[in-house]
Structure 1
């Protein structure tokens, strides 16, 4: 193997295993063609799997996916994981509050919402961004990653924040994106050029999970 295949996609230390980017568990078994892996160390594979499971459960329990029969297998595996792990259940179901779900036919259902562990969500997407960058550029990303999870923006957010989100959402293009199973996952990179059309070293990664949850990652190098 070449040297790049022997180092962890996240930290550049010696790789001891391979990790699916995004995690294989997000895909039903009959939609796992063309998945790819990146080399990883133990810390950035095994330890990260807890965040993978948490985010899969949180997204899978969203009201937006209630009618998605194609994801029944993924959602069922998440519920089995919760049933087996009381600590995970406590984390996923933290601070319950009453909620109302409005279905497409305007029927309302009483439900419960829970507090989202933002640190785990941001950790998951930060690792995903670094893995996708490694896959495309064959090098470890050594800059910062600023994460904008559009599905978490509140309607009463500051106008400036709403405008930034709208600008980033304008970069999503499902038809012109990477991903063989776009109903599960797709993404695009936009490389930022300077006035002379030279790459600045920065890029914007747009990803969408389950054809519903859009997240933008602004990746900028550390400048001296």
Structure 2
């Protein structure tokens, strides 16, 4: 892993002191159980962008592990994550899960769909994409950032399964670069960097897939 990245915040680009030790794990540290923390990716961060979205880290580690797509996710969900949510201050979150979760199928297999607030999924993936972008490009990402996943149900009726399949077919593995990761059973990724278009295919615990992309800086929908 790189250890000589520019001393600026990966998100906002603010200059950081040379002795700055504030770093953002990509993806968050909470995703990695003991035994799977070998040489994790980190990027320099200001204190605001290291802390302001920490609530998403905890929520999404539960959201993604709850799909139980491999033994690592299942074991950590049933031990460390479960203990964390048994705390008194987490009861409102558990109540929300009980009231709003619903079941469904992905590729014919039953899955549990968990409630998310508006734009939380997009913001979480944006956070990771910005970290990966900075790690490879050594500058903050500028431009519109979007994402999609078969695991997210959007209220506007977007067919996410068809969208993901279309992107995977259009961007074949032959044109993607392998990411820099050391714990593939927890997280791995491939990316495309072409004319300021940056696309990342992310996989958590083998089979929870998200696709995020950054449009060129001067792109707009107008």
Per the normalisation by structure 2, the TM-score is: 0.76
Correspondence for 2:121: 121
Aligned Cα root-mean-square deviation (Å): 3.3
* In structure 2, C-alpha distance between the alignment counterparts of 1:134 and 1:112, rounded to whole Å: 33
Correspondence for 1:196: none
Unaligned runs of 5+ in 1: 193-198
Correspondence for 1:195: none
Where 1:165 maps in the other structure, the secondary structure is helix
Where 1:29 maps in the other structure, the secondary structure is coil
Correspondence for 2:151: 151
What do the CA deviations read for 1:181-222 (whole angstroms, capped 9, x no partner)?
221111111123xxxxxx2x1121111111111111121123
Number of paired residues?
Answer: 204
What do the CA deviations read for 1:56-107 (whole angstroms, capped 9, x no partner)?
0111223x44xx3333553122222222253x442354262575689xxx9x
Alpha-carbon deviation of 1:129? 0.3
Correspondence for 2:49: 44
**Cα 1:13–1:113 shift into 2, 3 Å:** same
What do the CA deviations read for 1:33-78 (whole angstroms, capped 9, x no partner)?
121210001111122221111100111223x44xx33335531222
Where 2:59 maps in the other structure, the secondary structure is helix
What do the CA deviations read for 1:21-44 (whole angstroms, capped 9, x no partner)?
111221121111121210001111
Correspondence for 2:190: 188
**Cα 1:57–1:93 shift into 2, 3 Å:** farther
Alpha-carbon deviation of 1:162? 4.7
Q: How does 1:1-80 map to 2 (within 5 A)?
A: 5-15=6-16, 16=20, 17-62=22-67, 64-65=68-69, 68-75=70-77, 76-80=79-83
Per the normalisation by structure 1, the TM-score is: 0.76
* In structure 1, C-alpha distance between the alignment counterparts of 2:213 and 2:166, rounded to whole Å: 12
Unaligned runs of 5+ in 2: none
* In structure 2, C-alpha distance between the alignment counterparts of 1:49 and 1:98, rounded to whole Å: 22
Correspondence for 1:164: 163
* In structure 2, C-alpha distance between the alignment counterparts of 1:5 and 1:113, rounded to whole Å: 39
Contact 1:172/1:206, CA 8 A, preserved across alignment: no
Contact 1:186/1:208, CA 8 A, preserved across alignment: yes
Structure with higher Rg: it is: 1
Contact 1:55/1:120, CA 8 A, preserved across alignment: no
